[in-house]
Structures are given as C-alpha cells and as structure tokens.
Amino acid sequence: MKVEGQDWFYTDKVKTHFLKPKNYLKNEKEVKKFDGYGRVGNMKCGDIMEMWIKIQKDKIVDVKWRTFGCASAIASTSMLSEMLTEKGGMKVDDALRIRGKDIMDRLGGLPSIKIHCSVLGDEALRSAIKDYESKKVSKTKTK
C-alpha cells in the first residue's frame, strides 16, 4: 500500500494485527463470563478502548477487546491480547508491568506520530485489572 508516494509505513506485524486482529470482541455474548472490564479514551478525539479479562489462578487466560481507533490502536491491542494469553496466560502482576514500549517492540515499532495509540490497550488493561481487583475485594468483604 502506498501513502502519498511512500510505501506502507507500518511493519508487517502491525499490518497483520490490524487486518486480522486477535481476540477482538465480535459479539456481546462473548463477555458475559469475564472477571474485569476496562474502558479508556476520549470520544472527542475518536479513540475509545474497551477490554474484558478472564482470570484463573491469578493468570489472565482470556482477553476480549474492541476499539474505536486507528490501525495502530487496533494492532497494538491485538498484540497486547496475544502477549497476555500466550503460554497459558500471564500473571496479573506481570501484566501490570507491560508498557506501550513493550507492545511496540513486539510489533517492530510504530510511526512516531502513532505512539500514543499503543498506550490505549495497556491503559484499558490496567482499568480491567482494577475492576477485577475491586470485585475481588467486594466478594471478600461480603463473605
């Protein structure tokens, strides 16, 4: 693909995750059994990210997400969801240490003007973990 006389300026990994995103929410029914939900972004600028996480034995074993954002936001969150669920799932504490740079490194980079898009996924992830932890605390208090 050419943009204003230039070749496609995304890496092949970004292109793959944009065109065939992993763990993208296709149907609302898919999120009924998830443990945490996060939503971040700003509708005024057009970037909104939602994420649902399933946790078993302190590991994130499933992720669903959707976004109203650009190719970089889609690819970054697709890669993040893959990072979280590979090898049987990632421990919650390890997931909290993921940063946008980690995601960009796995994608092989993003154009500098699109770096801010890579943080939407990890911000939504933190929000979903916070939601999960608050529910866990609530359950403990009601027992």
Catalytic residue ranges: 45, 117
Token pair, residue 89, equals 């799932």
95-102 contacts, C-beta under 8 A, 24 or more apart? 95/60, 95/125, 95/129, 96/126, 96/129, 98/122, 98/125, 100/76
CA 46/CA 128 separation, integer angstroms: 20
Collapsing DSSP states into helix, strand and coil, what is residue 51? strand
**Alpha carbons 98 and 126: distance in angstroms, whole number:** 10
What H or E segment, with its residue span, contains residue 71? helix 71-85
